[in-house]
Amino acid sequence: MRAYFSLGSNQGDRAQYLTLGVHRVRGDDVHRVSRVYQTDPVGGVAQDDFWNLVLEVATPATPRDLLARIHDAEAAARRTREVRWGPRTLDVDILWIDGVTCDETDLTVPHPRMYQRRFVLAPLRELRPDLVSAQDLRRADGRVHLLGTLETLHYTERHPRGWNGEPL
């Protein structure tokens, strides 16, 4: 089955935290990664912009196993949860798992707010255009700017040059 995760970071070396997240969440499973988007923070807390991407993983893992991978990745990034929707080194959410629905206290699949958030839909549309229509993307809240691939951003994050992302 294929599972899709949203990864975001707005503290420290964002490219490094996203890379850590991709490797921890995918484990040894086959994967694809969207490009990275710079996005406005959601939730009203004053903070820096996020870098977001979507990770696709082909895996036999259960939703609970995938949730454990998320917790491992966030712990490895030293994520703290002091303020709801506050700044984060790494934030990972399960968006979608093919053929799976789940509605538990700590795990809801599909993600209940994914169609409201442009920072989720823009990178998800790259990997699964059948899940996100152009109209879905237009209706979603937030501004997103395409930054590039995670690999190219490792250099950019360490050597800022006033790069101006492509708005969507």
Q: Which residue in 35, 91, 117, 118 is the catalytic one?
A: 91
pLDDT digits (tens, 9 = 90+) for 25-77: 998 898 999 999 998 877 667 778 899 999 999 999 999 999 999 999 999 88
Count of Cβ atoms closer than 10 Å to residue 133 Cβ: 12
Contact criterion met (CB below 8 Å) for 41 and 10: yes
Q: Which residue in 79, 117, 118, 125 is the catalytic one?
A: 79
pLDDT digits (tens, 9 = 90+) for 73-108: 999 888 766 766 668 889 999 999 999 999 998 999
Backbone angles phi, psi at 118, to 5 degrees: -65, -30
The domain segmentation of the chain, as residue ranges, is: 2-167
139 given a catalytic annotation: no
88 given a catalytic annotation: yes
- Give the CATH architecture of domain 2-167: 2-Layer Sandwich (3.30)
Q: Which residue in 88, 117, 125, 128 is the catalytic one?
A: 88
pLDDT digits (tens, 9 = 90+) for 107-121: 999 998 999 999 999
78 given a catalytic annotation: no
